[in-house]
Amino acid sequence: MAQGAGDVPVVYLHDIKRQYVQGETTLTILDGAKLALWAGQSVALVAPSGSGKSTLLHIAGLLESPDDGEVYVGGTATSGLSDVERTQIRRTDIGFVYQSHRLLPEFTALENVMLPQMIRGLKRSETVKRATEILAYLGLGDRIKHRPAELSGGEQQRVAIARAVANAPKVLLADEPTGNLDPHTADHVFRALMQLVKATQVGMLIATHNMELAGRMDRRVSLEAGRVIELD
């Protein structure tokens, strides 16, 4: 794990505050949350439902803005950036995996993995090559022409992972990625994620309720009173 002097985290959350106002009440979800995520490191975010895990991941992934604090991606402060610039960073540096696969149903596995690369402007032939390689790497070499409905839950989730890493992001954020899977399939998908961290040196933050999986990651954190705390 790269953490030498002079290195910067792939994502650094500094004093993040996030509130939701609903009618008369203000819910403070994050309140001074700090977290450094390093290249090649897998971090489990384990906290009760409703404690702000998804909120933290969305903020780290530039999908949502904090009310206060700063999100640094690869050392770059993002709060002053335009929407276009933030979108650009999201496309090139950040991969996101959700609990449900969110694949496009009318496209094949291959096309689903090609799309983020095409949006980024890569040549079609290049995206075919790269998408085929990633899918094969994740054990889906004989499933590339299948549509999501023709794949098992674990296969769908591995395609979603392939899509998330298609642009070789620095950061992989996964929100309960194995939450809908049976234990055996969850283990398979989890191993695929861990394998990617080692192979690509992406920094990975996974929100999970699965303590067994969390125990196999490099580091465990939780949320308490709106702050990130280290477990162990």
* Sign of the dihedral through C-alpha 169, 46, 18, 69: negative
Q: How far is the CB of 98 from ligand ADP (least distance, A)?
A: 11
Categorise residue 34: left if φ over 0, alpha if ψ from -120 to 50, beta otherwise.
Answer: beta
C-beta closer to ligand ADP: residue 22 or 82? 22
Interface mask toward ligand ADP for 26-65; x: CB under 6 A: -x-x-----------------x-xxxxxxx----------
Q: How far is the CB of 189 from Mg ion (least distance, A)?
A: 17
**21-29, 70-78, 138-146, 156-164 -> range binding ligand ADP (CB under 6 A):** 21-29
Interface mask toward ligand ADP for 124-163; x: CB under 6 A: ----------------------------------------
Distance CA 131, CA 84 (A): 25
Contact with ligand ADP (CB under 6 A): which of 6, 22, 80, 232? 22
Give the pair of three-digit tokens for residue 184. Answer: 């055996």
Q: If you write DSSP's letter for every residue of 160-198 in order, what string do you get?
A: HHHHHTTT--SEEEEESTTTTS-HHHHHHHHHHHHHHHH
CA angle 111, 168, 223 (to 5 degrees): 105
C-beta closer to Mg ion: residue 50 or 80? 50
Residues near 12 by Cβ (< 8 Å), separated by ≥ 6? 35, 36, 37, 71, 72, 75
Q: Please give the size of the binding site for ligand ADP, defined by CB under 6 A.
A: 12
Residues that bind Mg ion (CB under 5 A): 53-54
Residues that bind ligand ADP (CB under 6 A): 20, 22, 27, 29, 47, 49-55
